[in-house]
């Protein structure tokens, strides 16, 4: 969890150095000194305007994003690491800046109570803050997954309810848009009280029929063959209000 981004900077520079086709160059003392300087320059360049934040302090506060750790407790723990003394304002504003970075999510207020309950429980037991953050981070991940599953289930239920309502309108004889009855490949719609069926073909086209009812037993009257449902819909919109002469 407490992954230090500096590791990846070092890895990239070392990888670049050892990719040299010359073994002599890789072992050359001047080249080794040069890559060492580049590594130090890369990892010690600081955090820009955030001068108190580097090394393990930066790693830890980033790991605490979304965990609702009380600012003062986070400040006290961070002050155990090397660096200038941090105030509560230092911690609160650095956390806010991290939360506003791209690809970082704001803390979910729905998780706040649960996070604080875990924090208080573990603090009472004397658990180290880095371990508390780890447990809370796992809790947040589990809650996010639970909410995702619940949203997905609600969406599926809503789709089923919409399908039920659409089928009910079609069966009841009300005008409706294209509706696919469960278990059937055909789509039906009703416009101006007239029922039409779209049947898919093997070559991914659509055949349009005028039918009396939404039933596979009603072969209907063939109207035409179309490349998309949209094209068939335009034809239905015109035909449905024209005088009808059916056999």
Spatial distance between the Cα atoms of 110 and 116, rounded to a whole number of angstroms: 11
From 13, 18, 20, select the one nearest 44 (Cα to Cα).
13
Which residues 6+ apart lie within 8 Å of 26 measured at CB?
A: 17, 18, 20
Q: Look up the pTM and report it.
A: 0.63
* pLDDT at position 165 over 90: yes
Segment 237-247 shows an average pLDDT of 77
How much is the average pLDDT of 151-169? 93
pLDDT at position 5:
60
pLDDT of residue 30: 79
Spatial CA neighbour of 238 closest among 227, 223, 218: 223
pLDDT for 109:
94
Q: Does residue 1 carry a pLDDT above 70?
A: no
Residue-level pLDDT at 32: 83
pLDDT of residue 232: 92
Angle between helices 56-63 and 71-78 (to 10 degrees): 160
**Cα torsion angle, 203, 207, 177, 237, sign:** positive
Report the distance separating Cα 108 and Cα 146, nearest Å: 14
Poorest-confidence range of 71-80, 88-97, 185-194, 238-247? Answer: 238-247
pLDDT tens, position by position, 36-92? 877 776 665 555 678 898 778 988 999 999 999 999 999 999 999 999 999 999 999
Q: What pLDDT shows up at residue 181?
A: 87
Higher-confidence position of 17 and 161: 161
Q: What is the pLDDT of residue 183?
A: 83
pLDDT digits (tens, 9 = 90+) for 99-155: 988 878 789 999 999 999 999 999 999 999 999 999 999 999 999 999 999 999 999
Alpha-carbon distance values, 130 to 59, 68, 114, 122 (Å):
11, 13, 17, 11
Confidence grade of residue 2 (pLDDT, cut at 50, 70, 90): very low
Which pLDDT score is estimated for 75? 97
Distance of alpha carbon 228 from alpha carbon 205, whole angstroms = 7
Using 50, 70 and 90 to split pLDDT, how confident is the model at 247?
A: low
Question: Is 175 within 8 Å of 166 (Cβ atoms)?
Answer: no
CB 205 within 8 A of CB 212: no
pLDDT, tens digit, 9 for 90 and up, residues 22-37: 777 777 787 788 778 7
How far apart (Å, rounded) are the C-alpha atoms in residues 76 and 85?
10
Which among 66, 62, 144 has a CA at the least distance from the CA of 112? 66
Q: How far does Cα 53 stand from its chain's mean position? A: 30
Report the pLDDT value the prediction gives residue 38, as an integer from 0 to 100.
73
pLDDT at residue 81, rounded to an integer: 92
The rounded distance, in Å, linking the Cα atoms of 181 and 227 is 21
Q: Count of CB atoms within 10 A of residue 184's CB?
A: 13
209, β-bridge pairs: 197, 222
């Amino acid at each position: 969890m407490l992954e230090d981004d500096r590791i990846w900077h070092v890895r990239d520079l070392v990888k670049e150095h050892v990719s040299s086709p010359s073994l002599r160059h890789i072992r050359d003392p001047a080249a080794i000194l040069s890559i060492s300087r580049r590594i130090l320059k890369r990892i010690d360049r600081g955090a820009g305007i955030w001068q108190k934040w580097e090394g393990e302090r930066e790693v830890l506060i980033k790991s605490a994003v979304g965990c609702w750790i009380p600012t003062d407790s986070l400040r006290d723990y961070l002050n155990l690491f090397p660096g200038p003394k941090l105030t509560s304002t230092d911690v609160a504003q650095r956390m806010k800046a991290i939360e506003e970075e791209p690809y970082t999510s704001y803390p979910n207020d729905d998780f706040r109570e649960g996070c604080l309950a875990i924090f208080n429980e573990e603090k009472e037991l004397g658990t180290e803050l880095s371990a508390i953050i780890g447990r809370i981070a796992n809790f947040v991940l589990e809650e996010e997954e639970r909410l995702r599953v619940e949203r997905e289930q609600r969406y599926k239920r809503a789709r089923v309810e919409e399908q039920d309502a659409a089928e009910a309108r079609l069966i009841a004889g009300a005008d409706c848009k294209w509706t696919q009855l469960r278990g059937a490949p055909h789509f039906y719609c009703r416009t101006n009280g007239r029922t039409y069926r779209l049947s898919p073909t093997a070559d991914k086209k659509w055949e349009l029929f005028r039918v009396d009812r939404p039933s596979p037993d009603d072969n209907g009257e063939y109207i035409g063959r179309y490349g998309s449902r949209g094209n068939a819909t335009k034809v239905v919109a015109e035909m449905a209000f024209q005088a009808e002469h059916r056999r």
